[in-house]
Amino acid sequence: MPERNRRLVLAQRPTGNVEEETIRLEHVDAPEPGAGEALVHTRYLSIDPTIRTWMDDVQGYLPPIGLGEVIRSTAVAEVVRSNSERYSVGDLVFGLTGWQDYALAGEREGAMQLLPPGIDPTAALSVFGTTGMTAYFGLLDVGRIKEGDTVVVSGAAGATGSTVGQIARIKGAARVVGIAGSDEKCAWLTDELGFDSAVNYKTDDVGARLREACPEGIDLYFDNVGGELLDICLAQLALRGRVVLCGAIATYNARGKIEGPRNYRNLIPRRGRMEGFIILDYLGRFPEGQAEMASWVADGRVKFATHLVDGLEQAPAALNLLFTGGNKGKVIVRVE
Ligand SMILES: NC(=O)c1ccc[n+]([C@@H]2O[C@H](COP(=O)([O-])OP(=O)(O)OC[C@H]3O[C@@H](n4cnc5c(N)ncnc54)[C@H](OP(=O)(O)O)[C@@H]3O)[C@@H](O)[C@H]2O)c1
């Protein structure tokens, strides 16, 4: 008898927030693994803002999720049956399972990565996964951080931003300033993660607070948010300042046309640079980033928080947390 599979599919494209009618729960038979394939049981889902962008009918760096298709998502899963020499029953793997209980792992197309024994699956999805590597390569490779830089990061109490600030500190930034959405998050950044200061964008005058915190301007702005905060930071760029376009979460739920930055012209007198990137381009270099990250986590210089949500069916609500700021650190769904 095949296992029964709960799966969450895209029922309707959202026009703003993900609502109840966006996602449909289905109960179907789990797929049968063919030759060279394994059946894996999803244990932990990585909840990423980009999932929301895949729900739009827009060609991005991956094709949109089709109507009726399982919501695309990376996860840690456990091998439960195997017709492949690559996977043994009980192995933990990392890959694109989607929001469902069971998926197939192949050997080439659909191959999943084996997790090293002993690694905590939630850490594999956060600091050692695409989130941590986005912070690492975004800051080092795209942002080309230098000792003495004044670094500002938005979405600073989120999974990526909190890691960016701590790496900036390790790499010798003169000042690290976070922008986040509550006083409690700001206190976490300064009291526990070593940020020099933090600005609550919901209650503070962000421009004025950044001018105080960065009197010589911003050398490196790591942008997770886009919108108004990008404009404010562009206006305060230092000479040869760099803007890393990592994400634009303020715009992912937007209806209609998205406004561009009004202050981009300041890049000209400041001889500045603004560059986007997609972490998938760095997959081949993950071992290098993961090794350095492992040493920082081991000696306590990089701390990470996990916001765990229980139950596959809670995945849409968990995704919405990223947009309401209901999370501190990495959002992960534990699938029962
Ligand atoms: N380029 C890449 O390859 C790549 C890879 C991974 C992630 N990303 C991007 O990195 C960013 C962070 O992703 P993550 O997974 O680490 O999520 P996250 O930061 O853990 O969660 C998102 C955070 O964004 C903040 N936020 C939401 N709406 C906002 C708004 N309108 N204005 C200001 N802040 C807002 C919320 O915190 P507050 O309480 O502070 O509002 C929320 O906690 C996203 O933009 C994502 O798309 C890019």
Average pLDDT over residues 57-78: 96
How many C-beta atoms surround the C-beta of residue 17 within 10 A? 14
**For residue 246, which atom of ligand 1 is closest to its CA?**
1
Which mutation among 202, 224, 323 tests ligand 1's pocket best, with the greatest number of atoms within 8 A of CB? 224
Ligand 1 closest atom vs CA 276 = 1
How do residues 226-278 score in pLDDT, each as one tens digit?
Answer: 999 999 999 999 999 999 999 999 999 988 888 889 999 999 999 999 999 99
Nearest in space to 174 (alpha carbons), one of 263, 268, 238: 238
pLDDT at position 178: 98
Task: Quote the pLDDT of residue 67.
Answer: 98
Q: Which of 160, 164, 304 to mutate to test the pocket of ligand 1 (most atoms within 8 A of CB)?
A: 160
d(CA 191, CA 225): 23
Percent of the chain residues past pLDDT 70, beyond the cut: 100
Pocket, ligand 1, Cβ cutoff 6 A? 48-50, 130-131, 134, 155, 157-161, 180-182, 185, 201, 224-225, 246-250, 277-279, 322-323, 325, 327
| Per-residue model confidence (pLDDT) at position 259 | 85
Q: What is the pLDDT of residues 257-271, one digit of tens each?
A: 888 899 999 999 999
277 and 138 in contact (C-beta within 8 Å)?
yes
Q: What is the pLDDT of residue 110?
A: 79
- How far is the centre of ligand 1, averaged over its atoms, from the C-alpha of 215 (Å)? 26
- Which pair of tokens denotes residue 71? 């919501």
Is 1's pLDDT higher than 80?
no
Q: Give pLDDT, residue 98.
A: 98
Q: Which is it for the CA torsion 291, 194, 153, 151, positive or negative? A: negative
Contact between 142 and 167 under an 8 Å Cβ cutoff? The reply is: no
Show the tokens assigned to 64: 């949109």
What average pLDDT does range 102-126 have in this prediction? 93
Which one-letter amino acid corresponds to residue 287? P
Instruction: Look at residue 258 in the predicted model and tell me its pLDDT.
Output: 87
- Per-residue pLDDT for 2 more than 90? no
pLDDT tens per residue across span 118-169: 899 999 999 999 999 999 999 999 999 999 999 999 999 999 999 999 999 9
pLDDT at 100: 98
Q: Walk across the sheet containing 150-154 and list its strands.
A: 197-200, 175-180, 150-154, 218-223, 237-245, 273-276
Residue 257, pLDDT score: 85
Q: Ligand 1 centroid vs 155 CA: distance in angstroms?
A: 5
pLDDT digits (tens, 9 = 90+) for 277-332: 999 999 999 999 999 999 999 999 999 999 999 999 999 999 999 999 999 999 99
The arithmetic mean of pLDDT across residues 110-120, rounded, is 91
In ligand 1, the atom with minimum distance to the C-alpha of 280 is: 3
Asked if 329 and 306 touch (Cβ cutoff 8 Å), the reply is yes
CA–CA dist 80, 82 (Å, integer): 7
